[in-house]
Amino acid sequence: MKLLLVGLVGLLPVVLSEMTAFFWMHPPPESHAGPVLEITFPGAAWNVHPDDFDKANHQLRSTSGWIADSGQTPPELSLSFFRWDHASTGSTLEAFRHMPEQCMPSIGMVLEKHFNSRTLNTPEGTLVFDASRFRPKGGGSSVHIYKCVWVHGYQEADMRGGVFEGHNVKELRSLRQSAAQQRFRPAFTRVIMGSVTGMPTEDLAWQRFSSFLNPLIDWRRSADLTNPPS
C-alpha cells in the first residue's frame, strides 16, 4: 500500500501538468455577448456563384457564406462573405491564412501594389480592410481587392497584425502556436472580401466599395443567428 501511495504521489505532478496543458489548449469559447457582424445580400440582380464558394470553402472550412458579383460583363463589383460560427480553432485560423496575394494568382491575377489598410467605421465597431491592386496577367483593367477579417471580441482586427501580430500568417504551425499562446477561440469570425474593377486610383476604388458596402452591414445578436441569412 505504501509503495502504491508513493507511486500515486509521483504521478500527481505529471497528471496536473497534463490537465493544465489540456485546459490551456482547449479554452472555452469567447462570450456570446455583443453584436455579431452580418452582411445583407446585395440584391436579386447579383449573380451567386455556389461552385466558387464550395471550391474556396474546401480550404477555408467556414460554416456558411456566399460569393457573388454585380452582374455586368465583366462585373464592376464582387463580394464574398464567409462565416465561422462556434467553429474549431483550426477552422477559424484559416480566415487569417489566405491572403489576397496567395489566392488571386490562381485566377491569373498579378499583384501590383499593397496599400495602407482602410477602415470603415460602423455603429458597432471599426472594420479594417487590407487593400491591394491586381491586374490580369495578360493585361487589362485593374482590380482593387479589399479583405476584412472580423473576430468577435477583438476590436479592429487587422489581417497583417493585431490579433496575431508578429507571426507569419502563411505558416499554419506558427499560427497555431500563436493561437495557443493567446488561448484564441472566438465564438464568431467573419471574412468580407470584395473587388472593384476599372477604377483608376485606389482612393476612387475605396470610395466606391465602402459606399456600396456600408448599407449592407447588419449587426445581429448572437441569439438571432440560429438561422443566419444565406
| Residue among 189, 165, 187, 190 at smallest CA distance from 178 | 165
Contacts of 182 (CB under 8 A, 6+ apart): 163, 164
Contacts of 62 (CB under 8 A, 6+ apart): 82, 83, 84, 87, 91, 94, 95, 191
Regions of the chain where pLDDT drops below 70? 1-33, 87-91, 155-185, 223, 225-230
- Consecutive H or E run containing 86: none
What pLDDT, on a 0 to 100 scale, did the predictor assign at position 45?
Answer: 92
What pLDDT, on a 0 to 100 scale, did the predictor assign at position 107?
Answer: 84
What pLDDT, on a 0 to 100 scale, did the predictor assign at position 160?
Answer: 59
What pLDDT, on a 0 to 100 scale, did the predictor assign at position 32?
Answer: 58
Beta bridge partners of 126: 121
pLDDT in tens, 36-86: 999 999 999 999 999 999 999 998 889 999 999 999 888 899 999 999 988
Distances (CA, A) of 73 to 78, 145, 194, 204: 12, 18, 17, 20
What pLDDT, on a 0 to 100 scale, did the predictor assign at position 184?
Answer: 57
d(CA 225, CA 220): 7
pTM: 0.76
